[in-house]
Amino acid sequence: MSQIKRLILSGITLLVVLFLGGSLFASFSEPQITNRLELYQTDLLLRASELKPNASDPANLAGVKNTLLGQDPVKTALEQYQSVRNSAAENLQQLQTRLTVSQDNPFPEEAVQSSRPTDPDTRTTPAPTEPATIEEQNKQLRLAVLQQQTLIDQLDLRIGLLQAEQNHTDAAIESWQSLKDRLASFQPTAQRPSGKVSDKNSTASIRAITPVLIGLWNEPPRLLPDAESQIQASLDGWFRDRALRRLYALQQRPDALAALEVTQQQVARQTLVKLTLVGVAPAIGGSLGIVLLLIVVGRWLIRAKQAPAEANSLAWQVPWTGETVWQVLIGGFFFSGQLLVPWVLHLLPLNFAAFGQRAQAINTLCYYLLMASATLLTLYLSIRAYFPLPKDWFQLKGKRNWFLWGIGGYLVALPLMLAVSLVNQQLWQGQGGSNPLLQIVLEEGDRVALAIFLFTAAVAAPVFEELLFRGFLLPSLTRYFPVWGSIALSSVLFAIAHLSLSEVLPLTVLGSILGFVYSRSRSLLTPMLMHSLWNSITMLGLFILGRG
């Protein structure tokens, strides 16, 4: 490699390091979506808690219900909502602080995070649609403040209903009265973004329903003329049913109460099935994964004693040096793919956000394909001088059954990722950034947009990322490190590439499992299958939660 090329790559590396460091540091103050996911599941639990087993139901239905829902689901839900509310208040304070700093300082350090390019495998709005000026960044921060405050308003509304259900009427009315007073003095500083936004979650809707709820639980009750229509328009799920039940009881409408009860039972049965899919199915898979993990560890210990040199035989024959790896990873993936391509696309006079979720989904997919193409072109140009490649490079079939290794790797990942996620939640306490695609899947109703997002996450991402990180990077590192060290290092780089601090630990674990199954099967189809299963089943679970 010429001295000029090394100097150019050194300069690019410095830019990439600054980009990665700034992106990871910026993600530290970004909230995770974990709490919101838990609330979606909590809402499903509340709906399922209405189920009343009858004579025609299986004998173990009551036991299944208690196992899934617990003894006091309303109390559990209230604690969960209050915990999320506290976290949301902290996030709001941080956003307000960042906005203040950004407005006071014409070149705020915090503003860098708003314009960083993003990876559509973990980001829903790529760089071409993100703000580039300080004014646009401040506008986005003001919008984030508004959205966070609206979230707190939604939580307070529901916390009051949960308190009322537990006969803490005074606490419920106090929650609603505080919310009413806050909304009365609220002056919006930004408009909601275009796209799918539920009317039930709007500030106007919350402002309209709050006095209705106060009147329903007041002593004596005060029933507003439009109480039923406001409840139907402003609440949903278990919370709507609870308010309607209170209204019908006060109005002495037994027929309406009976019809509501029938509907609740139908929905509760459907919801119990959804909870079984979301909760029980992964638990069964995780149990199988634990068994497989114990078998793999046991066989490894036995082979380590019998053939300690076997690990060396897993290494690849690498014809190129670390400079080629440097060129592909830094020059191709990070610089061309995550800096240059977004910058070029940003120059185009296109605003996909103005055309709805389908256009944004297509934009995300196109950006991802362009990023992958730029990286893979750099990879090809860097290694074509070494064609034909040695044995085992970029093989699809491999030495062993790629399908079984892919399924087995997914099952083993389930318990490991669950354990890591529990540690991660305690480590980051709701901060560290998260995957915006999760929220899109939870709330998006456009099936075409969802299909495009699913294709990006379940097909495009596994194919490209496994070609780069497992197909090229992992084997290349075996020139300098043992196989286990190469798996670990490539997994860390794989995790860092997703640009969120809170995702580094879980994605490193996931990447290690992907690397392990690839090094054993020698088939790229194995990690591609496992990666695709992980992304697609995760999105399916989110879809079920969102439709609950």
Q: Which two tokens stand for residue 50?
A: 């209405």
Q: Which two tokens stand for residue 68?
A: 């899934």
pLDDT at 527: 96
pLDDT per residue as tens digits for the range 493-520: 999 998 888 889 999 999 999 999 999 9
Q: Which long-range contacts (CB under 8 A, 24 or more apart) does 543-547 make?
A: 543/441, 543/450, 544/274, 544/277, 544/278, 545/37, 545/40, 545/41, 545/44, 545/274, 545/278, 545/442, 546/40, 546/441, 546/442, 546/443, 546/444, 547/274
Q: Give the rounded distance of the alpha carbon of 101 from its chain centre.
A: 28
Please state the pTM of the whole predicted model: 0.78
CA dist., res. 460 & res. 470, Å (int) = 15
pLDDT per residue as tens digits for the range 334-384: 998 888 888 887 777 766 665 667 787 888 888 889 999 999 999 999 999
| Residues facing residue 31 across a β-bridge | 431
pLDDT at 237: 87
What is the DSSP track for 188-235?
--SPPPSS---GGGSHHHHHHHHHHHHHHHSSS----TTHHHHHHHH-
What is the DSSP track for 256-284?
HHHHHHHHHHHHHHHHHHHHIIIIIHHHH
- Is residue 473 packed enough to be buried (19+ CB in 10 Å), middle (13-18) or exposed (0-12)? buried
pLDDT at 172: 95
Buried b (16+ CB within 10 A) or exposed e, 329-340: bbbbbbbbbbbb
Q: Which two tokens stand for residue 204?
A: 């106007």
pLDDT at 68: 60
CA dist., res. 145 & res. 98, Å (int) = 10
pLDDT at 120: 36
Backbone torsions φ then ψ of 31, nearest 5 degrees:
-75, 150
> Do 477 and 380 contact (CB within 8 A), yes or no?
no
> Do 66 and 102 contact (CB within 8 A), yes or no?
no
pLDDT at 57: 56
pLDDT at 55: 54
pLDDT at 354: 58
Q: Give the rounded distance of the alpha carbon of 469 from its chain centre.
A: 21
Residue ranges, the chain, pLDDT below 50: 107-132, 189-198
Is the N-terminal amide bond of 221 cis, ω within 30° of 0? no
> Do 138 and 102 contact (CB within 8 A), yes or no?
yes
pLDDT at 189: 46
Taking CA 170 as the corner, what is the angle to CA 168 and CA 174, rounded to the nearest 5 degrees? 120
